[in-house]
Amino acid sequence: MAATALTSGLSVSHSRLMQRLEELGAVGSTGDGGCCRLALTDADRAGRDLVVTWMRDLGLDVDIDAIGNITGTWKVGSGAPVMTGSHIDTVRTGGLYDGNLGVVAGLEVIETLMTNGLVPPRPLAVTAFTNEEGARFQPDMLGSLVYVGGLDLEAALDTIAIDGPRLGDELSRIGYQGSTPVPASAPHAFVELHIEQGPVLEQSKVRIGAVTGVQGISWQEVTIHGQSNHAGTTPMALRHDPAYVSAEITVLLRNLADELGGHQVCTVGKIDVFPNLINVVPARVTMTLDVRNTDEQILQTAERRISDTLDELSRAEGVTIERRTLARFKPVVFCDDVIDIVEHVAGNLGTSSMRIPSGAGHDAQMLARTCPTAMIFTPSVKGISHNPAEFTAPDDLVLGANVLLHTMWELAHRDSFDFTPGSGI
């Protein structure tokens, strides 16, 4: 590795990285330090326009594919590109760094090499993937999933948003349905820089995470249909109350996570009650269940336990319960060769690193199906994310971008990896 290593002093521009993050964060600003750029909204379009402008200003070849993924490629050398990237869509109460860091840092890597006259032996590409968050359209990581052939383009375009529109219609409305076919051919390797979004690095006083993989994700929507009735006149024994059942399900998820322990996490993040009035026993409740584990077997156990309890609740309360899978991804293991390079690079830059699994979903977990892949994490202050208070110290952001810079350079010089497509899933 040493033969091709860049001088360890080579650094991305601190001020340019921060300025671009701020500029992108101002698009869809929520006025409280946060950002709302739900996928394929007008704000997402404005963010995309900014990223495309930066790519064109750098002289990159800009390509938009049929699911709206935006790729800027520095077409040098030969062979498949070393790719980086992430997403710029956010949750409704997003911060400035989730996803954005990976895209902005990718541009920074290329610009730093260009301005220093350093040309890699193969192309470098940076991609902003469509709808990573899955907040407006499910599943999450949809753009990268289609990119690697894990979801049919037509099925993806037919996805319906939580606010009604069809994904394909929104994509063309904002002018980002490109003509480049998907699935795409596999990059030489993929590495994504992201904030950790959890507390582990900060608590461990370690500045770089060499990410070993991503935990499995199970998302479902549950709709409970009961008997709507008068809140004052309906005896408790005669109720078929979806609100009560939804509360039982919420408690079930917490208890299940406590009982299974380890990496098991369970969340009820969205509850819609109809008609949502003080004096009406509701007719129905629709809620989402987000259940994750690094262990596929335990994740399946959790899913079975939830399903069985839903059956019991349905019988006991006399309600009907509909279930719809919104996303289901098995745990992913990243490529050891790429993880090793991240660790080596961190060491060469004189910084501490630790191996760490990801609790959040990422585009890298989809790319891992087709090419050698890993991720780089930087610490999140207090582990807060999906929140306007999300924060990573500027020096840590820059350090992460530098680890990305040196890692991409190493990957570009490495001819082969111990990797079989699909092996990490």
Using CB under 5 A as the criterion, which residues of the chain lie in contact with Mn ion when the complex forms?
A: 98-99
CB of 137 to ligand GLV, least distance (A): 13
**Site for ligand GLV contains 133 (CB under 6 A):** yes
Partner interacting with residue 361 (select from ligand GLV, Mn ion, none; CB below 5-8 Å by kind): ligand GLV
Q: Decide which of ligand GLV, Mn ion, none touches 140; Cβ closer than 5 to 8 Å per partner kind.
A: ligand GLV
- Name the residue whose CB lies closest to Mn ion: 99
| 140 touches ligand GLV (CB under 6 A) | yes
Nearer to Mn ion, 212 or 365 (CB): 365
- Alpha carbon 53 to its chain centroid, in Å, reads 23
Our CB check for ligand GLV shows the closer of 87 and 207 to be: 87
Selection from ligand GLV, Mn ion, none that 157 binds (CB < 5 to 8 A by kind) is: none
Specify the residue, 122 or 386, whose C-beta has the smaller distance to ligand GLV.
386
Q: Do 71 and 153 meet the contact criterion of CB atoms below 8 Å apart?
A: no
Binding footprint of ligand GLV, residue count (CB under 6 A):
4
Whole-number Å distance between alpha carbons of 106 and 57: 14
Residue 94 CB, nearest approach to Mn ion (Å): 7
261 Cβ partners below 8 Å, 6+ apart?
none
361 near ligand GLV, judged by CB under 6 A = yes
Q: Shortest gap between Cβ of 385 and ligand GLV (angstroms)?
A: 8
Q: How far is the CB of 21 from Mn ion (least distance, A)?
A: 14
| Binding site partner of 410, from Mn ion, ligand GLV, none, Cβ cut-off 5-8 A by kind | none
Choose between 88 and 285: whose C-beta lies nearer to Mn ion.
88
Q: Minimal distance in Å, beta carbon 134 to Mn ion?
A: 9
C-beta of 86 vs 223, nearer to Mn ion? 86
* Whole-Å CA distances, 66 to 144, 201, 327: 12, 37, 21
Question: Could you tell me the smallest distance in angstroms from the CB atom of residue 142 to ligand GLV?
Answer: 11
Phi, psi of 54 (to 5 degrees): -60, -40
Contact 106, 88 (CB under 8 A): no
Taking the least distance from each CB to Mn ion, the nearer of 34 and 99 is 99
Nearer to Mn ion (CB atom), residue 99 or residue 388 = 99
- Pick one of ligand GLV, Mn ion, none as the site partner of residue 95 (Cβ within 5 to 8 A by kind): none
Q: Does 360 bind ligand GLV (CB under 6 A)?
A: yes
Cα(first)–Cα(last) distance of the chain, in Å?
A: 28
* Residue with Cβ nearer ligand GLV (224 or 360): 360
Residue 128 makes contact with ligand GLV by CB under 6 A: no
Give the one entry of ligand GLV, Mn ion, none that residue 178 binds, where binding means its C-beta sits below a cut-off of 5 to 8 angstroms depending on kind: none
Minimum gap (Å) between residue 215 Cβ and Mn ion: 14
**Rule CB under 6 A: which residues touch ligand GLV?**
133, 140, 360-361
